[in-house]
Amino acid sequence: MYELIHRLLVFLWFLSYMAVVYLALHMLAAKLSSTPDNRVLWFFSIITAPLTRPMRAVLPPGSPEGRVRLLTLVALVALWLGTRVLLGALGGIGSW
């Protein structure tokens, strides 16, 4: 049972890390892009749409896109660090 919990935490830690990286790159591309129909923005919007969907459900309709992305990034960083701390407490990957 301990090994299963440990593996699930490692998997969640890795997924949240990847999500943070992709969302941060999306925010950077949105800031640096000069046109709204940029292919890079399209790519990142496709990749990060499942990540921002839960935050859109919580926020009021019509919230600015930048605010949705920022709050999603904050939540994902909290999840990433939380799994890191839990893994450190279990003595596995993530020990500081």
12-66 pLDDT tens trace: 999 999 999 999 999 999 999 888 788 999 999 999 999 999 999 999 999 999 9
- Tell me the C-alpha distance between 15 and 11, whole Å: 6
What pLDDT digit, counting tens, does each position of 6-17 carry? 899 999 999 999
Contacts of 3 (CB under 8 A, 6+ apart): none
